[in-house]
Amino acid sequence: MSTPLDSPDSGGLATLDRELEELIREENIEPGDHERFSHYVKKDKILESALTGKPVRALCGKKWTPGRDPEKFPVCPQCKEIYESLTK
């Protein structure tokens, strides 16, 4: 006799986890040049994302889950413009 633990991929939490991961992947894909730039995001949101895996939203509106070294990319021109307008 089999139990739910014998086949965890047949439904229940495993199915919900896969569906959630797919939704997050779909939500993170945005067309355009955003992937070529580093973006401005509040530091506390970066930390929260690192702890929870939740996506963040940059000043320019791009939504993604941080995971690369921002030092390797130029700053997003839209984020920079918005940031500079806020600091004046």
DSSP symbol at 9: G
Average confidence (pLDDT) over 52-62: 92
3 state SS of 74: coil
**DSSP alpha helices (H): ranges in the chain?**
13-28, 43-52, 77-86
Question: Of 27, 28, 37, which Cα lies nearest the Cα of 78?
Answer: 37
Express as a percent the part of the chain with pLDDT over 70.
66
- The yes-or-no verdict on residue 65 having pLDDT over 70 is yes
Q: What is the DSSP letter of 56?
A: E
Q: State the pLDDT confidence band at 39, using cuts at 50, 70 and 90.
A: very high
The answer to whether the CB of 53 falls within 8 A of the CB of 34 is no
CA 75 to chain centre: 17
pLDDT tier at 33, thresholds 50, 70, 90: low
Distance CA 61, CA 14 (A): 32
